[in-house]
Amino acid sequence: MSELHEKAATAVPQPRPLDLDDLARRVIAGERAALGRAITLVESRRPDHEAAAQELLVKLLPHSGKAYRVGITGVPGVGKSTTIDTLGCNLTADGHKVAVLAVDPSSQRTGGSILGDKTRMVGLSVDRNAFIRPSPSAGTLGGVARRTRESMVVCEAAGFDVIIVETVGIGQSEVAVADMVDFFLVLMLPGAGDDLQGIKKGVIEIADMLAVNKSEGDNAARARRAVSDYRAALQILAPQGSLWMPPVVSISGLANIGLDKMWAEVERHRALFEKNGILQQRRADQQVKWMWSMLEERMMLRLKNDPNVKQRLPVLEADLRAGRTTATLAAMEISSLIGI
């Protein structure tokens, strides 16, 4: 090999080691590039990245916890992105710094993201006091992004005082997001009808407020009727004697109608729960749930990567399909392979 070729071979740039102290300092200083890099590290599935992410989070934790965390859900088409965009712009105009963690559903077949960039949040996307981060759910329970909780810590350390988590609005994702926020808002469509039946399936247990969206123009009358119907249903379905009765309001994210009143209810909830110590207790309980969630994830990962399980699993699946064994016996055998 010639001297020129030898120099070319040795000139391949090597990745620089990650300086976590510097990254943490830049995140705390509010540098947007550092914030994006930190969340990318947190979301990475590489084992070395996971270890680095945990070390980074330890450095950021003392600077987190001061933001108010709001989850927003609703069926597809209810106007979540439009409402968040308008609400977020209202909040930044009032001096808040708003981070939106929009859970981007992943395709169950390809693993690819479906929504891509949150281009519908046109106002927040150019707002210097806002940060939008779509995160692929990667098939986790209910479509909730695997590291949304850690991303909230990073955003709080960067100085954002309102964190909004948007769910894809598909079943179990509502429960999962409710377990990581301080306030859970459910958007509804005008014209109660079948939606009232959905209330009985558990929304009341997790919702801190219902907001009937798209109440502008011709929908105004239907929205008023829907609000009345939902309030009546809440009187029957909501737990009696609780500190907080979920309010029902009508809004229009598109026309910016009723959002100030809606946010005033969010702030009233925060003041009440902070005064009674419930907010602190809720966050403490969420930390414990977070630990169990991470433990379950690690156990499943260990199970799927175990060589004995990999060897035996195809046989057990074939026996199940052929009716030669039961699901319980198959699960017991798999558990015994890893000593459970």
CB 184 within 8 A of CB 74: no
| pLDDT tens-digit map of 40-54 | 999 887 888 888 999
d(CA 186, CA 168): 12
CA atoms within 13 A on the CB side of 183: 27
d(CA 68, CA 330): 45
Distance of CA 190 to the CA centre of its chain: 25
**167-171, 223-227, 298-302: the lowest-pLDDT one:** 167-171
Residue 149 pLDDT more than 60? yes
Residues in the chain, total: 340
98: helix, strand or coil: strand
d(CA 73, CA 168): 7
Question: Residue 111 has what pLDDT?
Answer: 45
CB 234 within 8 A of CB 245: yes
| pLDDT tens-digit map of 160-207 | 999 999 887 656 667 778 888 999 999 988 875 555 555 655 677 788
Averaged pLDDT for residues 6-24: 67
Map out the domains of the chain as residue ranges: 15-63, 64-276, 291-337
Q: In this predicted model, which residue has the larger pLDDT, 137 or 298?
A: 298
CB 286 within 8 A of CB 317: no
Q: Are β-strands 183-188 and 98-104 bridged in parallel, bridged antiparallel, or unpaired?
A: unpaired
Question: What's the token pair of residue 159?
Answer: 């100085």
Distance of CA 296 to the CA centre of its chain: 18
Both ends of the chain: CA-CA distance in Å?
A: 57
> Tokens 């005064």 identify what position?
275
- The architecture (CATH level 2) of 15-63 comes to Up-down Bundle (1.20)
Among 204, 205, 216, 217, which residue's Cα sits nearest to residue 250?
A: 216
The superfamily in CATH containing domain 64-276 is P-loop containing nucleotide triphosphate hydrolases (3.40.50.300)
Q: Are β-strands 68-73 and 183-188 bridged in parallel, bridged antiparallel, or unpaired?
A: parallel
Q: How many CB atoms lie within 10 A of CB 2?
A: 7
d(CA 69, CA 338): 39
Q: Are β-strands 248-250 and 130-136 bridged in parallel, bridged antiparallel, or unpaired?
A: unpaired
Residue 100 pLDDT more than 50? yes
| pLDDT tens-digit map of 308-328 | 999 999 999 999 999 999 999
